[in-house]
Chains A and B, each alone.
Chain A
């Protein structure tokens, strides 16, 4: 397969609604077989961005290519090859689950068998239920299943797990990984940091219509997470010599509790140094910033 040919490339995407600029400068690329995350606070422009890529919205600026097509001029070509779970859409209330699956499945007769798809997404018993009678999470799972009904090369999932219970979310993650393993590229818009951390190979953080960070979840944590913190408690003496330990930048103490900041293998060096000084705290532990900390600091919502 053509590795390293981006499935999606976006350069300086811009989109205005009237005089309001929803997306002012978004650039990124997605490679084949990736699960690519788009994170950002409410109103950041995530949905606008992914819907522009699907040719569902006109764009006001930038160069975009999806599967080699321009969504402005070749939207139909793109839509035929992608799957999409929209943040907001609906089916007729009186349409039954199997009818929807059958209908969307017949768009691509060579696609997966809809019975299996429905079963994968936990809707086998709801086959004959009307769309309007499904719970929010069941409707959501149906939409994800329908997004896969045409055996897409690329699938857009806009808040796929919003409204799912914890068990269903785990199942959804597994299913998404399986889809990726079969070669489908996935673009995932999410508000769940654990989801992004678990699922995404790379991600961007968008804020106010701009990309504020790009990288792997681990890479972002290392870059923006403010390093490593090691904590322990001990008698209350000043342990200033810890500053000389490799990889340590700083030591702070509050009564008997210590916090050592640094980066890299701080824990190992601090542990060794403490033991060498005859100190063996039972609560010695390392704390790393989470993706959530990174997200909050990047999008200015920490305070």
Chain B
């Protein structure tokens, strides 16, 4: 546990020493927020956005999106890159436990996602007239679960992809597909049948619904279960496929 704490702290310092990554993690969600806010405002239109204002819809959605961007992009690039360079081999030969090495990356990812989400909520409440969450515990629970979901997917990607370039390419692709079809871009209602079916299959769609559930007391249906299920499967697969070299 002490080792995990030390490693996590170190990982966070290393993260902060990469200015571009920090910028990407913290500024990108804000950029998306203000672009979307500029386009849609917060008018209520019964046909779209599950019947609520666009920004009321998007802010909880972006909280989920933030966990997806650090989980699907930063984390796999970090893990695959460390394997490619021989850093993981170095740790392994010194009997650093896998749980510590991966755990520290997940902790870092989580903290970054948390900062990014808080920043997003603060910026959104300053810039737009969005309502306070109906249930803070539910939003927190949804955030934690969503962060764990994408971290597990990220570790899995980092485990199976050979190098940081492959991780970057696939991570960005998945993130982008999920952004568009998962409901963090165009409102789900405008997606045609086939696109909506694919959208339903993206983890992000369900992560968004759980956060919105807590924020706006909308019915998330089975999404809580889907998120939990994908998290469990991805974690098992990540443990199964993790390689040091």
Contacts and interface: CB of A to CB of B under 8 A. Distances in A.
A94 B89 contact: no
A92 B86 contact: no
Contacts of B10: 95, 99, 103
Contact of A103 (B6, B17, B89, B95): B6
19 contacts: A54-B93, A76-B95, A79-B92, A79-B94, A84-B93, A84-B94, A86-B89, A86-B93, A89-B86, A89-B87, A89-B93, A90-B86, A99-B10, A106-B2, A106-B6, A107-B94, A107-B95, A107-B96, A146-B94
Contact of A91 (B2, B3, B6, B87): B87
Given A91-B90, A104-B94, 15 more contacts: A56-B245, A76-B95, A79-B93, A84-B94, A86-B89, A89-B86, A89-B89, A90-B85, A90-B90, A92-B14, A94-B17, A94-B18, A107-B94, A107-B96, A149-B94
Contact of A150 (B3, B7, B92, B94): B94
Interface in A73-98: 76, 79-80, 84, 86, 88-92, 94-95
A58 B136 CA distance: 51
Interface residue SS majority, chain B: helix
Contacts of A91: 87, 90
Interface string B77-102: 00000100111011011111000000
Q: What interface size band does chain B fall in?
A: 20 to 34
A92 B87 contact: yes
Contacts, number: 58
Interface residues of A, number: 24
A259 interface: no
B71 to A, nearest CB: 20
Interface of A: 54, 56, 76, 79-80, 84, 86, 88-92, 94-95, 99, 102-104, 106-107, 143, 146, 149-150
Looking at B7, B87, B95, which has the most chain A CB atoms within 10 Å of its CB? B95
Contacts of B17: 94
Contacts of A146: 94
Contacts of A54: 93
B2 A86 contact: no
A90 B94 contact: no
Contacts of B2: 106
A84 B96 CA distance: 13
A122 B10 CA distance: 24
Nearest to B15: A94
